[in-house]
Homo-oligomer: A and B are copies of this chain.
Amino acid sequence: MKYSELTKEELSALLETQRREYEDVAAKGYKVDIARGKPCYEQALLAADMLQGPAADQFPKAALNYGNLEGLPEVRELFAKILGLDASEIFVGGNSSLNLMYDTVQRGLQFGFGGCEPWNKTKIKFLCPVPGYDRHFGICEHFGIEMINIPMTGHGPNMDLVEAYVASDASVKGIWCIPKYSNPTGETYSDEVVERLATMPVAAKDFRIFWDNAYCVHELTDSPDKLANIMAIAKKAGTEDRIFEFTSTSKITLAGAGVACMGMSAANLKEALSHITFQTIGYDKVNQYRHLVYLKDPEHIAEIMDKQRAIIAPKFAAIIDAFERNFGDDCDIAKWTNPKGGYFISLDVLEGCAKEVGRLCKAAGLTLTSAGATYPYGRDDADRNLRIAPTFTNADDLPAAIEILVASVKLACVAKLAEERA
């Protein structure tokens, strides 16, 4: 149904219906949260074995003492296989890749990269593909880094725009990328996009790509997207110092108690360690080794991720199904993604309605990621994008979440159209 083609009278009648529907749902007293990309308890329990072992005498002695600033060698090997890098290019950190990203930006600000002056010395800018990840944008905003929106295209950021900015403006020092199953759109960067990012001419010698490969093994289907290996391309082009890769096991093992890592060129790793050696004697190698024993190798990780998928894919499917039932058939008030992996569904509603949908959902007991959060400074000028995080809610609560969400979208959008027509 094309809502925009309804007559004034039809809209007016529909508005009454939608208001009643919404009020009925709101009266049910539901309480559901689909705001954050958090795994559910059942997912955490998949890693239960990891919590009880191995025995102390099975740990390498090095894991039980200070040292190994760059991480346990065996764990560097494992992450190297996951990211398609060499073990010598891997830094294994603590439990949080966000922490590694924040600290990396902070090092750029305080010390600078590759002999260039510290980013703190001037006003700098980052390119921010939108919609994107609010915590990336939060780091920039907190540090006073100016953010420039770059629209996503369905296969990565608009590269014509990216290239124009980085070629012409030396104050553009970085770009945030979630190259596989991007948060929230679920799209994977095409080979061409990856190639252009790795090889494009840049005005700033210290331009850096923050390549947050958070969902590198996080499949929802049997036909995974293939992401090109940006580091391999960059090495051929001699631009490998441009790349900072990140990933973690937060959504493979335990959110908040996983292991995070960075991948980078030899020169960048040497530089990073020259600072990190003053920050810590080393990250938690007991947790690193525990992960190695549990995860084993990429093949076994794929098996674990199949079990994760068995828990979460039905939640994605339930929401997509509901959207198709309610907004399918060439509907013009809602468009959504059907991701092949990752943690989010991106929902675009009628322009100017996202905030109102969020307000209606909240009033009816459903917490969504704040409308606007997927844009720098929380500003979605079209007021259109909503991020749906299906994983945390238990399956029993999901119908309630869907009921509220659908009723809220319909009410907000129909009200908007009716108002415009009035």
- The residues in A between 37 and 82 inclusive whose CB is less than 8 angstroms from any CB of B are 38-39, 41, 44-45, 47-48, 51-57, 59, 61, 63-67
Task: Tell me, yes or no, whether A287 is within 8 Å of chain B by CB.
Answer: yes
Interface string of A185-219 (1 = CB under 8 A from B): 00000000000000000000000000000000000
Q: When the two chains form their complex, are residues A55 and B52 in contact, meaning their CB atoms are under 8 A apart?
A: yes
Given the known A-B contacts A51-B55, A55-B52, are A139 and B254 also in contact in the complex, defined by CB atoms under 8 Å? no
Q: When the two chains form their complex, are residues A61 and B38 in contact, meaning their CB atoms are under 8 A apart?
A: no
Q: When the two chains form their complex, are residues B102 and A280 in contact, meaning their CB atoms are under 8 A apart?
A: yes
Q: When the two chains form their complex, are residues B44 and A64 in contact, meaning their CB atoms are under 8 A apart?
A: yes
The CA of A67 and the CA of B255, in the complex, are separated in Å by 9
Interface string of A244-286 (1 = CB under 8 A from B): 0000001000111100000000000000000100111111111
Residues of B within 8 A of A65 (CB): 38-39, 41, 44, 254-256
Distance (Å) between the CB of A352 and the closest chain B CB? 30
Nearest residue (CB) in B for A285 is: B256
Distance (Å) between the CB of A214 and the closest chain B CB? 12
Residues of B within 8 A of A52 (CB): 52-56
The CA of A53 and the CA of B56, in the complex, are separated in Å by 12
Residues of B within 8 A of A57 (CB): 45, 48
Q: When the two chains form their complex, are residues A256 and B36 in contact, meaning their CB atoms are under 8 A apart?
A: no
Q: When the two chains form their complex, are residues A67 and B256 in contact, meaning their CB atoms are under 8 A apart?
A: yes
The CA of A279 and the CA of B29, in the complex, are separated in Å by 35
Q: When the two chains form their complex, are residues B278 and A142 in contact, meaning their CB atoms are under 8 A apart?
A: yes
Nearest residue (CB) in B for A392 is: B65
Distance (Å) between the CB of A365 and the closest chain B CB? 20
Q: List 10 A-B contacts (CB under 8 A).
A: A44-B56, A51-B55, A65-B254, A66-B256, A67-B256, A94-B95, A98-B279, A98-B280, A142-B275, A256-B283
